[in-house]
Chains A and B, each alone.
Chain A
Amino acid sequence: MKKIEAIIQPHKLDEVKEALKSGGIDGITISEVRGHGRQKGHKEVYRGMEYDVDLLPKIKLEIIIPDARLDEVTRTIASTARTGKIGDGKIFIYDVLEAIRIRNDDTGEAAL
């Protein structure tokens, strides 16, 4: 099993979610996060006080999938989340040791 952790633009969330759902991915966890990679932030001015804001709002999306589906799913996420501009985000892939469904103790891919 693999864990895919994708940091994407907030406005792309719905599109990515729909694409994953139609690809048969049922489980998804998202969080609102702030961060930056190479993208520069922006400047805000409040009554003459200037603030550089470089931690920008992003969405972190986590899904666990069977090894066999890794390529297909990462490609789906990358192609839907892409705008071609700096700040589109990144995808990270991890190995998963085990998965357990709390309701009935299913383990492994059966628990996904």
Chain B
Amino acid sequence: MNRNSTALSIDLATLNLKYPETALVNRVFNCTLLFVIGLCSNSLFAQTAFTTDQKLAALDSATKAAQLSGDNAWMLTSAALVLMMTGPGLALFYGGLVRRKNVLATMMHSFVLMAVVTVLWAIYGYSFAFAQGNPFIGGFQYAFLNGIGTAPNPDYGATVPHETYMIYQLMFAIITPALISGAFAERIKFSAMLLFTCLWSTIVYFPMAHMVWGKGGLLNAFLGGKIPCFDFAGGTVVHITSGVSALVCALYLGKRAGFPREPMKPHNLVISLIGACLLWVGWFGFNAGSAVNASGLATSAFVATHFGAAAATLGWLFGEWAKHGKPSMLGGISGAVAGLVAITPASGFVKPFPALLIGFLAGIVCFFMVTTVKSKFGYDDTLDAFGVHGAGGTLGALLTGVFATYAINSGLGNDSAGKPIPLGWVDGHPAQVLNQAVGIVIAWGLALIGTFIILKIVDAAIGVRASVEQEIEGLDLSMHGEEGYNLDA
């Protein structure tokens, strides 16, 4: 995430000297402002004449307060949008793709994380991810949310309360393990899924978030990382980690009983469509919110996000049309999600047309992954969490190194000669693709090894997989004692 925001501060005196033609405008502005300040602090200023310093100080604090409330409004909205991606977005999207007997269990995989991860986050999660520590993981400074209040933390967002940043980041920590559930849907024990998620958040997610976004993290391009890796909203942190972990889960758990002999059609693509569209809308909070302010950078990310999703929808549909003869609704929404995934790391770094290109490529590559590659290797990634998030996230992270430009993101500032520091290949810095590759390798490695160890632990402790009887009965009844559709009740 980029900290492009600098607290707005206007020195009117200097401005008037440099640009006399703005003096009138400023006088009007000044009068209005003084009127406002006068209203607010009538008793304090009523009888005393202002010195210039006092006026400037009052002006400075008034503009800061105005910016804080603007940015905070957008960031709280964004946090809510990102939560909406998990529930109901992902719950509906995944829920519609499974068989009817597993709809509630699958939705539960998403929904329950809104509770579980929140508690972890409050106790130690935020601290492990964002407190200062070593390059790989944060420390205990923010444990139990110690010291996190309304005062901004300039490292993470100079114009929003630190508490806003904390709750915004929590929503990412919730959706990431929820994405993995697509791989083990229809055959995991609920208790195992809970234990898996707690361990996975601790061993994979918090460290990865720290490396990329935490102060002093190994890959943090803006806050002193050794290997500057651009990941605006979570290509490595969210999508590679969840997608690659999903692959490990699919391989470790093995195929569902009857796969691929028995038909396992999605039971309700209508709710999947609703879920996918909620994901699309929620993703504006995910990506544009990652600017951590309501600036032009947020607009850039918003536009890139939308363009990426649109182009990827078409990419997947065309691929499907060419290969199977018919473009499908499921193909369209899968493409949209693939595009949103791929544009995530790039969103606050690239211009609109590269965003279209990244999206279109993601639509085609992810279509190829879930149709050709998956059937070739024969693993049962139930809802294609790897094919979409792992593949799309990797592609997006790489292409961010190609298309990132200082014309969009000035977070790295200027060099000593006053020229903007180049970001990606298009800026004349091809080595950035290598930096991205290092970030990708670290995310893949952590996800592969971490997830495998966690699954071994959970399996030894309580067993990961539901019994064949439970699976055949359906997880709704066998794990939760209820059914999704009691139409004659």
Contact = CB atoms under 8 A, between A and B. Distances in A.
Interface of A: 44-49, 51
Nearest to A45: B324
B442 to A, nearest CB: 30
Interface string B250-283: 0000000000100111100000000000000000
Contacts of A45: 320, 324, 326, 328
B263 A47 contact: no
B77 interface: no
A48 to B, nearest CB: 3
26 contacts: A44-B265, A45-B320, A45-B324, A45-B326, A45-B328, A46-B265, A46-B266, A46-B328, A46-B330, A47-B330, A47-B331, A47-B334, A47-B370, A47-B371, A47-B384, A48-B324, A48-B370, A48-B371, A48-B372, A48-B374, A48-B375, A49-B260, A49-B264, A49-B375, A51-B263, A51-B265
B384 to A, nearest CB: 6
A45 B330 CA distance: 10
Interface in B309-335: 320, 324, 326, 328, 330-331, 334
Secondary structure type dominating chain A contacts:
strand
A47 B375 CA distance: 10
A45 B328 CA distance: 8
Contacts of B328: 45-46
B368 to A, nearest CB: 9
Tell which of B263, B374, B375 has the most Cβ of chain A within 10 Å: B263
Contacts of B260: 49
Most buried by B among A44, A48, A49, A51: A48
Given A46-B328, A47-B371, A49-B375, 17 more contacts: A44-B265, A45-B324, A45-B326, A45-B328, A46-B265, A46-B266, A47-B330, A47-B334, A47-B384, A48-B370, A48-B371, A48-B372, A48-B374, A49-B260, A49-B264, A51-B263, A51-B265
Interface residues of B, number: 18
Contacts of A51: 263, 265
A34 to B, nearest CB: 13
Nearest to A52: B263
Contacts of B330: 46-47
B379 to A, nearest CB: 13
A37 to B, nearest CB: 21
Contacts of A44: 265
Interface string B363-392: 000000011101100000000100000000
A51 B384 CA distance: 18
A47 B372 CA distance: 10
Contacts of A49: 260, 264, 375
Q: In the A-B complex, list the 3 residue pairs whose CB atoms are closest, starting with the nearest.
A: A48-B371, A45-B324, A51-B263
A49 B375 CA distance: 8
A111 B372 CA distance: 62
Nearest to A50: B324
Nearest to B388: A47
Nearest to B370: A47
Nearest to B264: A49
B334 to A, nearest CB: 6
A45 B326 CA distance: 9
A25 to B, nearest CB: 28
Contacts of B384: 47
Contacts of B375: 48-49
Contacts of B265: 44, 46, 51
Nearest to B328: A45
Contacts of B266: 46
A52 B330 CA distance: 18
A49 B382 CA distance: 11
A105 to B, nearest CB: 30
Nearest to B383: A47
Contacts of B326: 45
A51 B44 CA distance: 78
A53 B264 CA distance: 12
A51 B258 CA distance: 14
A47 B272 CA distance: 13
Contacts of B324: 45, 48
A47 B331 CA distance: 7
A36 to B, nearest CB: 16
Contacts of B372: 48
A47 B366 CA distance: 10
Nearest to B320: A45
A47 B324 CA distance: 10
Interface string B265-308: 11000000000000000000000000000000000000000000
A23 to B, nearest CB: 32
A41 to B, nearest CB: 12
Interface string B177-203: 000000000000000000000000000
A48 B366 CA distance: 12
Contacts of B374: 48
A48 B264 CA distance: 12
Contacts of A46: 265-266, 328, 330
A67 to B, nearest CB: 37
A51 B264 CA distance: 9
B336 to A, nearest CB: 14
A45 B320 CA distance: 10
